[in-house]
């Protein structure tokens, strides 16, 4: 069994600890948090051991989830790697690109596994659509959420948009050629709503919008490609793929009714297996640590998503300073 623990048991760390208790191949060693009251409460509620110090936990585990505040990721991760502990680091992988590079290089030097917590990679709808993805040329995503004070220590780009940055980087699979970005602070000093347009080296384009000041929740992504159109609702884990039926031809003429369109277009329903994405993420991580499965979201992937997110934030800051849309 792989002895596993959780460092940081706030809102998300609590759920990591909850699920790790019964992940196959893992033995839940316990949790640690620098808030003694929170630590005691979570340990009692979940029936797990509360470690008195971070180092005490690191001495007792083979693998650990890091769910402390982003600004502390590098300090905690490097201490864990020095202790020979495999890691799952919540997104973003670090506060700065320099810190992310230090984590990635240290893990490589020590032969340790680092997975980044981009949980949307394990969304059922996304997994269901993967067999139909064929070189998407345009990607559009909307991630909207009501205001929540938790997570507002960073801009919405690092809080929410980074999920979709990681998705498009992984699915397009090409380098970023240029990007435009704009953002507006509404309730906090940093951008609360932002839009980025990313141009890839192969000509593909992604248009990404994120907001944490919306009245409605939305987590949708669409892919446009030569073989058809994919629309996913990540909140429900469902979607659809629309494509021309094999052998079908569009009727001649300038007008085409809905009935005629449905006669030539095939709709493929996309639906996940209903598995909780966070559970799937933790199960995949434990398998990777044990050498029994692939590393789905590597530390390098987390660093690359952070690098693009920081470029977007830089463009937003330039726009705010100049009063003009920023370009790079």
- Cα–Cα distance for residue pair 155/183, rounded to 1 Å: 9
Q: What is the mean pLDDT of residues 150-173?
A: 88
Residue ranges of domains in the chain: 2-112, 124-275+308-322
Q: What is the mean pLDDT of residues 227-244?
A: 94
Which residues have C-beta within 8 Å of that of residue 104, sequence separation ≥ 6?
114, 299, 300, 303
115 has which bridge partners? 88, 298
pLDDT on residue 326: 47
Would the pLDDT of 148 be above 90?
no
Superfamily of domain 2-112: NAD(P)-binding Rossmann-like Domain (3.40.50.720)
Summarised one tens digit per residue, pLDDT across range 239-291 is 999 998 877 776 666 566 666 666 678 899 999 888 899 999 999 999 999 99
Summarised one tens digit per residue, pLDDT across range 306-318 is 999 999 999 999 9
| Domain 124-275+308-322: CATH architecture, name and number where available | 2-Layer Sandwich (3.30)
Would the pLDDT of 121 be above 50?
yes
pTM attached to this predicted model: 0.92
Mean pLDDT of the chain: 93
pLDDT on residue 202: 95
Q: What is the mean pLDDT of residues 17-26?
A: 97
Would the pLDDT of 223 be above 70?
yes
124-275+308-322: same fold as 2-112? no
Summarised one tens digit per residue, pLDDT across range 40-86 is 999 999 999 999 999 999 999 999 999 999 999 999 999 999 999 99
Tell me the C-alpha to C-alpha distance, in Å, between residue 196 and each of 210, 219, 231, 302, 326.
Answer: 9, 16, 19, 18, 10
Instruction: Express the helix, strand and coil content of the chain in percent, nearest 5 each.
Output: 40, 25, 35
Q: Determine the distance from the C-alpha atom of residue 7 to the mean position of all C-alpha atoms in its chain, rounded to a whole number.
A: 19
Helix (H) or strand (E) holding 193: strand 193-200
Q: What is the mean pLDDT of residues 20-34?
A: 97
pLDDT on residue 258: 62
| Dihedral pair phi/psi, residue 252, rounded to 5° | -75, 155
Query: Which one is predicted more confidently, 262 or 111?
Result: 111
pLDDT band, residue 138 (cuts 50/70/90): very high
């Amino acid at each position: 069994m792989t002895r596993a623990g959780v460092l940081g048991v706030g809102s998300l760390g609590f759920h990591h600890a909850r699920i790790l208790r019964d992940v196959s191949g893992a033995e839940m060693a316990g949790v640690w948090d620098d808030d003694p009251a929170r630590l005691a409460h979570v340990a009692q509620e979940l029936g797990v051991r509360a470690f008195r110090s971070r180092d005490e936990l690191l001495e007792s585990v083979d693998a650990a989830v890091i769910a402390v505040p982003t600004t502390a990721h590098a300090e905690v991760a490097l201490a864990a790697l020095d202790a020979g502990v495999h890691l799952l680091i919540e997104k973003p992988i670090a506060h700065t690109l320099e810190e992310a590079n230090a984590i990635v290089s240290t893990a490589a030097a020590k032969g340790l596994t680092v997975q980044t917590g981009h949980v949307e990679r394990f969304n059922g709808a996304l997994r269901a659509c993967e067999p139909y993805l064929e070189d998407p040329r345009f990607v559009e995503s909307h991630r909207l959420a009501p205001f929540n004070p938790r997570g507002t220590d960073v801009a919405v780009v690092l809080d929410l948009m980074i999920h979709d940055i990681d998705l498009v980087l992984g699915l397009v699979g090409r380098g970023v050629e240029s990007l435009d970005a704009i953002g507006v602070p509404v309730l906090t000093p940093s951008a609360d709503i932002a839009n980025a347009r990313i141009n890839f080296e192969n000509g593909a384009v992604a248009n990404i919008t994120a907001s944490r000041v919306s009245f409605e929740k939305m987590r949708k992504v669409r892919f446009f490609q030569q073989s058809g159109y994919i629309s996913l609702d990540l909140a429900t884990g469902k979607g659809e793929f629309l494509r021309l039926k094999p052998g079908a031809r569009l009727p001649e003429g300038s007008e085409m009714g809905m009935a005629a369109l449905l006669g030539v277009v095939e709709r493929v329903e996309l639906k996940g297996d209903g598995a909780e994405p966070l559970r799937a993420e933790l199960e995949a991580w434990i398998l990777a640590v044990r050498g029994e499965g692939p590393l789905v979201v590597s530390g390098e992937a987390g660093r690359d998503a952070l690098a693009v997110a920081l470029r977007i934030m830089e463009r937003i800051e330039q726009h705010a300073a100049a009063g003009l849309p920023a370009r790079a």
